[in-house]
Structure 1
Amino acid sequence: MGKQYRKLEQRDIEFIKIQKMFYIASTSGQEVNLSPKGYDTIRVLDESTLLFASLPGSGNRTYRDAVNDGEFTLLFNAFEGAPLILRLFCKTEIIEESDKRYHSYLEYFNLRKGIIRNLFLFHIYAVESSCGMSVPYMEYKGERDELKEWAVDMNRRDQLNEYNDKHFTPPDLSKLN
């Protein structure tokens, strides 16, 4: 059923390219974060490296876990066609705007300028595929435009950077009742 190997194979790369959504799970000694990701925000650079464009949101646990040398798992699964679950076990590197690679990496994405919050390079150290036979068939109907529209509007009003700074650190869950 399942197998584990060190690098993406060509069939894995082709599978990733056609997925409409994926999940990022991460931890750095705090609660495990699991977040669904959509839009066209992931690129395979080679058999061991993926580039991810993070858009604004209510928290930024991916960044928190990357800064703290956390562990990451990216999960892709088939909702149509042959069943498959593909897990990528990774470490990540944050590509800040001050990094000389930043602007060349932006060219990989067809997203409006200013709405990308962070770029991440995921360095794969293990790949695991499994059958995915229990994953249901689901029909893709399209993207939700609300986040992109909101981010473009915030950027136009010069408020996006302030928002990102304010929502940079996730809430401290230890203070919950």
Structure 2
Amino acid sequence: MAKQFPRIGLGHQNFIEAQQIFFVATAAPEGRVNLSPKGMDSLRVLGPNRIAWLNVTGSGNETAGHLKQSPRMTLMWCSFDATPMILRAYGTARTVQRDSADWAELADLFPGGPEKRQVYDLSVEMVQTSCGYAVPTADGMTERPVLKDWAADKGEDGIRAYWSERNRTTIDGAPTGIEDNL
């Protein structure tokens, strides 16, 4: 049975911080819904109603484009160990680009280098837990070094060129705002 809460409680935060993967969902008023898995050391619970997560350079930039049109965001974690649970945080988010006044403050919460693209600052309006009984267990999850190595090889200039080529628009053609950071 699903339960809803107005904030992230200590038990919720402990569960979130124990997970190695989370999922983010966003949608513009028109076009496709985006759902992406995220990992690495890229998420911080900043308070009972605030989460920040680091977005690293990738093949698309859907979240940024969607948030320019509609600030809705859902984050989801599910346990892959012996204790089943699913937790979702619903709210509104803003994109913090590298040229934003609070970029350094938020980006410095996370390790990494040139792969850092944006930080998303989520105001959590509701937390929901559900059983997770149908989620399979999985052993041996470990981080992949591929993205960090790829970004380090490209360097800052190479990353910006990649953003210019691949991250200016969503798959539906909406602007992502990355051009201000080129």
Aligned to 1:78: 79
User: What is the alpha-carbon distance in structure 2 between the residues aligned to residue 45 and residue 165 of structure 1?
Assistant: 31
5+ residue gaps, structure 2: 174-182
The equivalent of 1:152 in structure 2 is: 152
Alignment of 1:125-136 (within 5 A): 125-136=125-136
Secondary structure of residue in 2 paired with 1:117: strand
2:110 alignment counterpart: 109
Aligned letter for 1:16? I
Q: Which amino acid aligns with 1:56?
A: T
Give, in whole Å, the separation in 2 of the partners of 1:124 and 1:146.
31
Residues 1-49 of structure 1, C-alpha deviations (whole Å, 9 max, x = no match): 2111111111000111111001001101221101111111111000111
Residue 66 of structure 2: aligned partner: 65
Conserved in 1, the CA contact under 8 Å of 2:62 and 2:171?
no
> How many residue pairs were aligned?
171
Stretches of structure 1 lacking an aligned partner (at least 5 in a row): none
Q: TM-score, normalised by structure 2?
A: 0.89
**Is 1:162 aligned with 2:157?**
no
Partner amino acid, structure 2, of 1:155: G
Q: Which secondary structure state, in structure 2, belongs to the residue aligned with residue 141 of structure 1?
A: coil
Letter in 1 for 2:130: S
Q: Superposition pairs for residues 1-177 of structure 1, below 5 Å?
A: 1-29=1-29, 30-111=31-112, 113-155=113-155, 158-168=157-167, 169-172=169-172
In structure 2, distance between residues paired with 1:118 and 1:24 = 14
Structure 2 letter corresponding to 1:122: L
2:21·2:39 contact (CA, 8 Å) conserved in 1? yes
What percent identity do the matched residue pairs reach?
29
1:126-164 CA-to-partner distances (Å, cap 9, x unmatched) read: 1110011111111133111111111111116x2101111
| C-alpha RMSD over aligned residues | 1.4
For residues 62-117 of structure 1, give each alpha carbon's deviation from its aligned partner in whole angstroms, at most 9, with x where no partner exists. 00111112421111000013111001112111112222221121221122x22101
Instruction: Give the TM-score normalised by the residue count of structure 1.
Output: 0.91
Measure the CA separation in 1 of the matches of 2:74 and 2:141.
26
Amino acid at match of 1:52: W
How far apart in 1 are the matches of 2:33 and 2:171?
A: 13
- Where do 4+ consecutive residues of structure 1 move more than 3 Å? none
Measure the CA separation in 1 of the matches of 2:66 and 2:170: 11
